[in-house]
Structure 1
C-alpha cells in the first residue's frame, strides 16, 4: 500500500510539474514566437501529462514499476548533467573555454572576476565589474565613470580597462573633444568583449581610418537601449558615420525585455524625450555604486551555489551539447520603429546610419538554413525597406572565410577573438572608404 501511495504522489506531482511546464512553454511561444526549443518543451510536457495520467489508472504493480523506471531514468540524466558540470572547473562564463584551452595547450588565467577585483583592491586600485541598473527615477545607459573596470576572459587573459567620463570603454576625454567622425552603437560586441581596447571594433576603426571613433556599446544592450544611447550620447556629438551593430542571437530577445521599461519606451514614443544623462554622471555613478554594494551584500558563496543548482536543474550542460539554443522572437513592428527613428535622428544632422549584421557561432557550428536562421531574412528585409545601408558580416567575413570557427576563442561559443574583430573592422572600414569617396 505504501509503495502504491508513493507512486500516486509521484505521478500526481509529475502531472502538476508538466502542466506548469506546458503553461511556461505556451507563454514563451506566445510572447517570443515559435522556435524548436519552446516547441520541444510543449511536446515533452504534453507527453508527460498523458503518460502520468495514463499510469495512474494502471494496476498497482505496473504503476510502481513504471514510476521506478521513470525515476531511475531521471536520476541517470541528472547524474550525466552533474558529471558534465563537474568537468568544467571555472565560472559559467569560461568553463568550456578553459577546458578547450587545456586540450590545446594554451595558458588560461583561472582566477575568477571576484579574485581579480580583490587582488586589485589589495594593491590599492579601486576597481569594479561592469554593472547596470534600471532605477525608476533614472535609467543609466553607461557605466561608472573614470574607473578601472574588470571586464571578461574568453581567450585566457582577463580584460581590464579604465572607463571614460561616461563609463564606456573608450580612452578618457573622448567626449570632451569635438569632431567625432565615427560612433558605434550596440551590445557586448561593440563594448569589446573580450579583447583589448586596441583590438575592439572602435579601436581598430580609429587606427585604420585615422578618424575619431567613440564606442557607446554596453554588454546586454538591445535595440531600445541602443536607441536611447544614440539619443543621449550620440546626438550631442552629431557624428558623421553611425554604425548600429546588430547581434542576431539575442538583440530581439533583449528588446522583448526592454519594452517593459516605461523610461526606455519614452525614447521611442516621444521624439524630444531625454534624461539628460550627459549632465548626470555623478548621479549615475552613485546609483551604480549603490547597486554594486547591494549585489556584493547579497552575493557570495550561497548565491553562486544557488546559480549552480539552477543550472543543473535546467540541464544547461546537456542542452548546450544538444544545441538546444533558444531562438529569439520574430522581428516586430517595434523593432522597425526603433531603426526608423534611429535613421531619422542621424539624418537630422546629416549623419549616415549603417546597420552591421553580426552572426553568431551557432551559424557555423551547426547545420542551419542561413536565410531563416535567427530570422535573418526578415531582419534584413526590414532594414532594406528603411533604406538603411547594410554591412552583412556573415556574407562579407564569415561565409567566405575558410575556417569561420577559428574566429571564435578556442572555436567555441563566445564573442569573436582578436582576429575575428579585426576582420569585422576591416569589412566596416571598406564601406567607410566607399562612403568617403562619394
Structure 2
C-alpha cells in the first residue's frame, strides 16, 4: 500500500511536469498567470494590474453631461447590457441618431469625409464615448468627419443593404468596411437572398432589420441617466465558485495538450467566396456610382489569432490565414484596398492586452486606440 501511494504520487508529479512542458513548448508562455475569476465591480475597478483606464463617476455620467448634450444627437438614450460579458463593471450607454445608429450628428448624413461600416467592432461594443473607435479616430485627427454605421451582429450583405439605403443622399470621400475575422463569414448572402432583396426594395423591412439588430440586449432609458444605469447588476456578475476555479485550473493546465490535439482536427474553408465576392462587387458598384474612389476593407484579427505565440503552422492559424488571404484577394479584385489590422498590434509584447482582462472579449479602449491610429495612417497615405 505504501509503495502504491508513492508510485501514484510520482505518476501525478510526472503528469504535471509533462503538462507544464507541453504548455511551454506547444502553447508558449501563458498570457496571464492568474485568471481573474471573481468578476465584481469593486474588484475590477480597484484592480491594480489592469493597465487600461478605470472609468470613474464622470465617465459613467458622460452621456448626460452638458458637453454630451451639445452634440445634438436626435435619437433616444439607449443602454446595451453587455457589461457582464465584456468589462465586468459598466454597460454601454449612448444616444442614437435619427436612424438608430450610435452618436452620429444629422449633418453627417449629408456629408462625411469617411464612412465606417461593419459589425460590433465598428460600433465599439461596450466602449463608451470618448473611448470608442470613432471617437479615437477623431482624437487622432479632428479635421476629418466620420459617419459610423456599425451595428453589432450584422453580416457583410446586411451592411451592404444599409449602405445602399442609408447613404443614397450622403456625399463622402472614403469608405472603410471592417471585416471581423471570427464571424463575418457565418451567414452568407447566398443563403439570405430573399431577406437581402426585401431590405433593398422595402424601406420598412430595412428599418425593422436595423431596429431589431441594434436593439438586441438593449433598452431605452428615461432621463436623467444615473450611475446605476451604467453598472452591471449584481445578479449578472459571475460568482467565484469552487467549480469555476477548478474548471479554469484544468483548462489552464491542459492547454498545451489541447493545442496538440487540434493538429488532428480538420478545419474547413470558412468563407463562401462566391457570396462574399458578389457582396463586395455590389458595394464597389454602389461606391462607383457615387464617385467614391477610396475604398478600404480593414481586416480585424481575432483573439484566437493573437493568442497563438508559436507554431504559425498550426491548422487553426492556417485556416485563419486562408480566410485572410481570400478576403484580401476578393477585396483587391474589386478595387478595394486591403488593410491587415494585425499590423496595428505587431509591436505589442503582450498582444492580448487589447482585450478586457486579456480574455476573449471585444477590444478595450487601448485596442480601439491602436486600431484607430492604424486605420487613420493607412487611409491617409499619399499615393
Relative to the length of structure 2, the TM-score reads 0.61
Q: Tell me which residue corresponds to 2:286.
A: 345
Mapped pair 1:357 → 2:305 = no
Distance across 2 between alignment mates of 1:286 and 1:253: 19
Q: 1:193, CA displacement in angstroms?
A: 1.0
User: 1 or 2, which has the higher helix percentage?
Assistant: 1
Q: 1:252-306: per-residue Cα shift (whole Å, max 9, x none)?
A: 01327x8335131466xxxxx443369968x98699989989xxxxxxxxxx9xx
2:177 is paired with a residue whose SS is strand
Mapped pair 1:384 → 2:355 = no
Partner residue of 2:176 out of 227, 235, 243: 243
Task: Work out whether residues 232 and 278 of structure 1, in 8 Å CA contact, stay in contact via their aligned partners in 2.
Answer: no
Partner residue of 2:344 out of 397, 415, 434: 397
Mapped pair 1:417 → 2:364 = yes
Distance across 2 between alignment mates of 1:213 and 1:250: 25
Return closer, same or farther for 1:432/1:266 CA change in 2, 3 Å cut-off: same
Q: 1:170, CA displacement in angstroms?
A: 1.4
Task: Work out whether residues 108 and 156 of structure 1, in 8 Å CA contact, stay in contact via their aligned partners in 2.
Answer: no
Alignment of 1:277-316 (within 5 A): none
Distance across 1 between alignment mates of 2:131 and 2:88: 15
Distance across 1 between alignment mates of 2:123 and 2:355: 16
Distance across 1 between alignment mates of 2:320 and 2:215: 40
1:239 is paired with a residue whose SS is strand
Task: Work out whether residues 77 and 96 of structure 2, in 8 Å CA contact, stay in contact via their aligned partners in 1.
Answer: yes
Q: 1:26-65: per-residue Cα shift (whole Å, max 9, x none)?
A: xxxxxxxxxxxxxxxxxxxxxxxxxxxxxxxxxxxxxxxx
Distance across 1 between alignment mates of 2:147 and 2:131: 14
Task: Work out whether residues 151 and 161 of structure 1, in 8 Å CA contact, stay in contact via their aligned partners in 2.
Answer: no
Return closer, same or farther for 1:329/1:372 CA change in 2, 3 Å cut-off: closer
Mapped pair 1:333 → 2:265 = no
Q: 1:99, CA displacement in angstroms?
A: 1.8
Return closer, same or farther for 1:149/1:418 CA change in 2, 3 Å cut-off: same
Partner residue of 1:107 out of 24, 45, 57: 45
Return closer, same or farther for 1:378/1:319 CA change in 2, 3 Å cut-off: farther
Alignment of 1:184-199 (within 5 A): 184-199=116-131
Return closer, same or farther for 1:167/1:401 CA change in 2, 3 Å cut-off: same
Mapped pair 1:147 → 2:88 = no
Q: 1:174, CA displacement in angstroms?
A: 3.0
Partner residue of 1:426 out of 344, 363, 373: 373
Q: 1:163, CA displacement in angstroms?
A: 1.4
Return closer, same or farther for 1:368/1:278 CA change in 2, 3 Å cut-off: same
Distance across 1 between alignment mates of 2:380 and 2:216: 44
Q: Tell me which residue corresponds to 1:206.
A: 138
Q: Tell me which residue corresponds to 2:353.
A: 406
Q: 1:371, CA displacement in angstroms?
A: 5.2
1:182 is paired with a residue whose SS is strand
Residue segments in structure 1 that go unaligned for 5+ positions in a row: 1-95, 110-143, 268-272, 294-303, 305-314
Return closer, same or farther for 1:254/1:202 CA change in 2, 3 Å cut-off: farther
Q: 1:118-172: per-residue Cα shift (whole Å, max 9, x none)?
A: xxxxxxxxxxxxxxxxxxxxxxxxxx9523222422123322112111111114x
Distance across 2 between alignment mates of 1:235 and 1:384: 24
Q: 1:175-228: per-residue Cα shift (whole Å, max 9, x none)?
A: 566321111110010111121132222222223232221111111111111111
Distance across 2 between alignment mates of 1:177 and 1:288: 19
Aligned residues: 279
2:371 is paired with a residue whose SS is helix
What's the Cα RMSD here?
4.2
Q: Tell me which residue corresponds to 1:27.
A: none
Structure with the bigger RCO (C-alpha within 8 Å, sep 6+) is 2
Task: Work out whether residues 181 and 300 of structure 2, in 8 Å CA contact, stay in contact via their aligned partners in 1.
Answer: yes
Distance across 1 between alignment mates of 2:218 and 2:363: 28
Mapped pair 1:233 → 2:180 = no
Residue segments in structure 2 that go unaligned for 5+ positions in a row: 1-33, 48-73, 220-235, 237-246
| Larger Rg over CA atoms | 1
Q: 1:344, CA displacement in angstroms?
A: 1.7
Q: Tell me which residue corresponds to 2:51.
A: none
